Amino acid sequence: MPPAALLAGVCSVTLRARSIAEVVAATAAAGLAAIEWGGDVHVPVGDIVAAAEAHRRSADGGLAIVSYGSYLMCSPDVGDHVEAVLDTTEALGTGAVRVWCPFGVEPGVRSAERGAVVDAVASVADAARERGLAVYLEFHGGTLTASAASVTDLLDAIGAPNLFSAWQPPYWDPQPLDTDLDDLRALAPRLAHLHVYQWDPDGRRHHLADGCDTWPARLAAVTVESASTFPGRSALLEFVIDDDPAALATDAATLRAWLEP
């Protein structure tokens, strides 16, 4: 069965050394349909001018802005920062924002530490819901979202209908393909974007085509029957070889071919 409603796109962090205009040009030239604008360089939190430029140039390039890639950490002091992040999300003209669980609070920690993160994530989801926005958690080692099981536990504990999780290959704890597929199927109803890249466990980058024995199956594991309600769910290329637009074009052609029915 073909992948369910996955747009082919890119995270702007992949081309963080390029301007907004250059990122749009490279993304459109690669035949991609979607983009997540990152909060690290291109659209910093509170920079409404940059958000407006990214929105305008994306529209002109025919690109859907599927999320704002913020670096908001859901720590106990998150309330001091969340409104500025949501303001920027709205200025960018997207319906979803990425946030993070804090590093160092991992599955199996003391209940009080875990509870503080759960409360912080819940408060962000609630603030976003009031604005009609979806929130998704970065799937990342060293956090409470280090595994599909810990993500599921976190989402269940909060129970917010606008809260989702991303998925990426867990390079911090490599596992067999069958386990990846089981995790994707389990997360699928609450899955946001897939972050797509081909790395060695040590972070060495390869062209996506080198993942021909894993990535098509991962994409296909996200089926129509388990489609998520996350808006604009996409397979987003991330961290191509040398952050090179030519490498992005090569990987984009591979990804688009895999996503075709």
Q: Which tens digit of pLDDT belongs to each residue from 76-96?
A: 999 989 999 999 999 999 999
d(CA 117, CA 111): 10
d(CA 260, CA 6): 10
- Structural domain includes residue 90: yes
- Structural domain includes residue 158: yes
Domain of 47: which CATH number?
3.20.20.150
Mean pLDDT of 14-33: 98
- Structural domain includes residue 258: no
- Structural domain includes residue 261: no
pLDDT of residue 2: 46
The pLDDT-based confidence of 4 (bands split at 50, 70, 90) is low
pLDDT of residue 1: 37
pLDDT of residue 75: 94
pLDDT of residue 112: 86
**Residue appearing with tokens 């920079």:** 47
> pLDDT digit string (tens) for 47-72?
999 999 999 999 999 999 999 999 99
pLDDT of residue 8: 97
The pLDDT-based confidence of 225 (bands split at 50, 70, 90) is low
- Structural domain includes residue 108: yes
- Structural domain includes residue 260: no
- Structural domain includes residue 71: yes
d(CA 197, CA 195): 7
Res 109 pLDDT > 80: no
d(CA 33, CA 35): 7
Which of residues 135 and 171 earns the better pLDDT score? 135
Res 17 pLDDT > 50: yes
> pLDDT digit string (tens) for 204-215?
999 999 999 999
pLDDT of residue 117: 95
d(CA 18, CA 42): 9
Res 179 pLDDT > 60: yes
Beta pairing partners, 142: none
pLDDT of residue 196: 98
Residue 209's alpha-carbon distances to 48, 123, 202, in angstroms, are: 37, 40, 19
Res 118 pLDDT > 70: yes
Average confidence score pLDDT of the chain = 94
Mean pLDDT of 178-194: 95
Please tell me the total count of domains within the chain.
1
- Structural domain includes residue 57: yes
pTM greater than 0.85 (yes/no): yes
Which of residues 225 and 112 earns the better pLDDT score? 112
Which of residues 71 and 2 earns the better pLDDT score? 71
pLDDT of residue 228: 83
Mean pLDDT of 239-254: 97
Range of the domain at 244: 7-253
